Amino acid sequence: MHFCSKFLMTFQLVCCLVIVCLILHAGSYDRTYFGVAPTTMCLLLISASHLFLNSIILPVAYKSERIYETPLICFQSVIFFILLNIIGVLAIVKNRNFESLEEKEIGIAGALAILTAFASTMKCCTSYEVCKNMRSL
C-alpha cells in the first residue's frame, strides 16, 4: 500500500474519532439532544461505523499491497463518501445559526465529515490499478 493511502486512512480514523467526540461532547449538555436532532444522530452513527470499519481494515491494509483492489473496499469508500457528504451538509445547514456551543460543535463535525468523505475517496484512488478496477465495475 502506498504511503499516501496509509496517511489518508489514518487521517480518516482521526477525523472520525474527532467527529464522534465532538458530537458526544455536544450531547453531554442536554440528554435529549440526540433524539431531537436526527441529523446529529445519523452523523454519529455513520462516523462511528466508518471508524469501526476502517479500524478493522487498517491492520490488514498496512500488511497487504493489494487491499484496494477488492470491490468491497471500493464500494465502502463510495458509500461513505455519499453518506458523509449528505449528512455533513445537513448538519451544517441545520445548525447554521451557530448560536450555542452545541451548534458550533455539530457544525464543525459536519465540516469534518465532508473532509473525511473526500479523504475516503482520495484514499481509494491513489493507485492506478484501483481506478482502473473501479471503472470496470
- Cβ(44)–Cβ(20) under 8 Å? yes
- pLDDT confidence band for 104 (50 / 70 / 90): confident
What pLDDT, on a 0 to 100 scale, did the predictor assign at position 32?
59
Mean pLDDT of the region 82-107: 83
Q: What percent of the chain has pLDDT over 90?
A: 0
- Cβ(84)–Cβ(118) under 8 Å? no
| Mean pLDDT for the chain overall | 76
Per-domain residue ranges of the chain: 1-136
Say if residue 102 is exposed, middle or buried (CB neighbours under 10 Å; 0-12, 13-18, 19+): buried
What pLDDT, on a 0 to 100 scale, did the predictor assign at position 2?
66
CA distance 120 to 7: 11
* Orientation angle between helical segments 101-124 and 38-63, nearest 10 degrees: 30
pLDDT at 45 over 80: yes
Instruction: Report helix, strand or coil for 54.
Output: helix
